[in-house]
């Protein structure tokens, strides 16, 4: 499954510094097990943005994500004693697959902790990649809960921790992506867009670009519901978010790593909030030579990007894997510039596509929910259909909330519009109809139970 370990690769002593030299050394270490992933120009994205847009297909690795790079680079450097003690890790799913693959390849036993929210597809693939060498344990409902359990395991057993992002060996492995991009492209890209969860990939790619291609701009992208790097940069240090949206599971981390945060601060730059600045100018996006920016992207926009990649390019991206492409809709780049988007993973459970479609429709302004009080009399629903709904509108959900009032019956109604512009006319017709209608605000607590 892999080449035998070389004695020279068994490193002991202090951890190496994260640097371009160390990233190039990592590229040599992993070359026997990980082939370079394709860098593909995407005509659709190029036409939409006016730039030359490429996608780096990390979804095509053996474990369908870039995480194998860091996991293998770290484990291959363990001493005999560290390997004999076995390894432990925590992961939302992709790093776990990388660790499982490396354990089986090198004959090392491992225990892998994942949150209970990790999609079944990822859990099944962890077991396939690790076989008899790994034990999978589901703990808590977030990555951070799984990480706490893994840390406790290491304290109790003396096993060797394999951090998913907060270690220079992990980050160096992820940084090999940047080395491949420069080699495959043949010139420096103007902008590289990197998805950010714990920050290891950003640390590795950013470090390499800063040293080997300093004129290249870097844009880190986080899901709005789990923007831990943004919070760290605003606060002046890593902070623990009080709550996160676990939907973008591959990037849903409450607290970024200390090493990634330190690396990001060395890149310079600033945070750009999607709420306060929907579109970046050409100067802000590429930021001049070598600028670094952080951007938050709504989960619905991520879902829209996922579906577009699947329907147009046949790329199956998980939510975190579509983060970089989703960011393209929020930025402007100079015409003709070269932009590389990292498709970080393709481990998406097909059972999640219903929620993906729902979130995308809401994001595009095509799906809306209302509480409608229908008079309990014949023809009430027919009048609603005839007088309120537009010709291209469709009811996708109809459910009575309660029927203990003899005069009216409240119903939850989901309406999908033919066009986003159809909302204002719909609301106008509702206001004129002899039926009480209340629109559910997407930001309201009740709305969370619908999406």
Residues annotated as catalytic are 67, 344
Token pair belonging to 178: 């940047």
**194 CB-contact burial (10 Å; exposed 0-12 / middle 13-18 / buried 19+):** buried
Radius of gyration of the chain (CA): 24
CA–CA dist 267, 292 (Å, integer): 6
In the beta sheet, which residues pair with residue 374? Answer: 409
For residues 200 and 260, what is the distance between their CA atoms, to the nearest angstrom? 6
**Three-state secondary structure readout of 339-394:** EEEEECECCCCHHHHHHHHHHHHHHCCCEEEEEEEEECCCCHHHHHHHHCCCCCCE
Using an 8 Å Cβ cutoff, are 171 and 18 in contact?
Answer: yes
Q: Give Cα separations from 62 to 58, 67, 123, 124, 340 (angstroms).
A: 9, 10, 15, 15, 22
Q: Distance between CA 66 and CA 181 in Å, rounded?
A: 13
Q: In what order do the strands lie in the sheet with 87-90?
A: 134-138, 110-114, 87-90, 160-161
Distance, CA of 179 to chain centre? 22
21 to 16, 127, 172, 179, 308: CA distances (angstroms): 10, 34, 9, 11, 37
- For 80-155, strand residue ranges (E) read 87-90, 110-114, 134-138
Sign of CA dihedral 311, 312, 313, 318: negative
**Bridge partner residues of 408 (DSSP):** 375
Written as six digits, the tokens of 38 are: 């394709």
């Amino acid at each position: 499954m892999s080449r035998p370990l070389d004695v020279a690769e068994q490193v002991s002593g202090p951890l190496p510094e994260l640097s371009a030299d160390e990233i190039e050394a990592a590229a040599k270490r992993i070359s026997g097990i990980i082939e370079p992933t394709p860098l593909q120009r995407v005509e659709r994205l190029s036409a939409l943005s006016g730039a030359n847009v490429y996608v780096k297909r990390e979804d095509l690795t053996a474990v369908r994500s870039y995480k194998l790079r860091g996991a293998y680079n770290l484990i291959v450097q363990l001493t005999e004693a560290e390997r004999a003690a076995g390894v432990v890790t925590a992961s939302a799913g992709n790093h776990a697959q990388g660790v499982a693959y490396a354990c089986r390849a090198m004959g090392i036993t491992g225990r892998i902790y994942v949150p209970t929210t990790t999609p079944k597809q990822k859990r099944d693939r962890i077991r396939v990649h690790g076989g008899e060498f790994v034990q999978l344990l589901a703990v808590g409902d977030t990555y951070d809960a799984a990480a706490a359990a893994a840390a406790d395991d290491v304290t109790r057993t003396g096993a060797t921790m394999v951090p998913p992002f907060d270690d220079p060996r992990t980050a160096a492995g992820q940084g090999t992506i940047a080395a491949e991009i420069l080699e495959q492209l043949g010139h420096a890209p103007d902008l590289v867009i990197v998805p950010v969860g714990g920050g290891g990939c950003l640390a590795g790619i950013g470090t390499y670009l800063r040293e080997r291609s300093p004129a290249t701009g870097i844009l880190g992208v986080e899901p709005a519901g789990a923007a831990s790097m943004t919070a760290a940069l605003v606060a002046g240090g890593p902070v623990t978010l009080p709550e996160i949206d676990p939907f973008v599971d591959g990037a849903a981390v409450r607290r970024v790593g200390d090493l990634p945060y330190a690396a990001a601060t060395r890149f310079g730059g600033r945070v750009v909030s999607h709420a306060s600045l929907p579109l970046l100018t050409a100067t802000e996006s590429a930021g001049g030579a070598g600028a670094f920016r952080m951007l938050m992207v709504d989960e619905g926009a991520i879902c829209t990007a996922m579906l577009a990649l699947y329907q147009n390019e046949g790329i199956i991206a998980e939510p975190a894997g579509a983060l970089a492409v989703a960011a393209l809709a929020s930025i402007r780049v100079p015409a003709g510039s070269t932009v590389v988007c990292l498709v970080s993973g393709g481990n998406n459970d097909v059972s999640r596509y219903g929620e993906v479609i729902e979130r995308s429709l809401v994001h595009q302004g095509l799906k809306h929910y209302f509480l409608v009080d229908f008079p309990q009399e014949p023809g009430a629903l027919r009048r609603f259909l005839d007088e309120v709904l537009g010709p291209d509108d469709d009811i996708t959900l109809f459910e009575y909330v309660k029927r203990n009032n003899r005069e009216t019956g409240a119903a939850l109604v989901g309406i999908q519009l033919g066009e986003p512009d159809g909302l204002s006319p719909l609301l106008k017709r509702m206001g004129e109809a002899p039926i009480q209608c209340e629109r559910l605000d997407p930001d309201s607590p009740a709305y969370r139970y619908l999406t």
